[in-house]
Amino acid sequence: MGYLMSDRSKETTAMTVESFTVTGMTCQHCVNAVSEEVAKVAGVSKVDVDLAAGTVTVESESPVDRAAVAAAVDEAGYELVK
């Protein structure tokens, strides 16, 4: 007798990826500070900060609140470009 089992590991959820420009970052400490604060924003599942490009890319299950990202970047000591 065989059983059909669903393989939930193959199910994927559409993710939202948004990039923001940040000013004032100059070193790895800056990257770490921005990453740490932005990761605290509700719904954020992944943060990637590119120091050379001056960007922070946020992955989430739904669009994140830009104001919340701006506040997190500000808390880290930097500024989100409007």
**Please, what sign has the CA dihedral across residues 64, 68, 71, 75?**
negative
Whether the pLDDT of residue 3 is over 80: the answer is: no
pLDDT score for 12: 58
> Which of the following CATH numbers is that of domain 14-80: 3.30.365.10, 3.30.70.100, 3.50.50.60, 3.20.20.70?
3.30.70.100
> How much is the pTM?
0.82
Q: Where are the domains of the chain?
A: 14-80
C-beta of residue 56 within 8 angstroms of C-beta of residue 48: yes
**Please, what sign has the CA dihedral across residues 15, 19, 20, 25?**
positive
Instruction: Give the H or E element holding residue 2.
Output: none
pLDDT score for 79: 97
- Who's near 79: CB < 8 A, 6+ residues apart? 22, 23, 24, 73
Give 41's DSSP letter: S
pLDDT in tens, 18-60: 999 999 999 999 999 999 999 999 999 999 999 999 999 999 9
**Distance set, CA 33 to CA 2, 8, 49, 52 (Å):** 53, 35, 10, 16
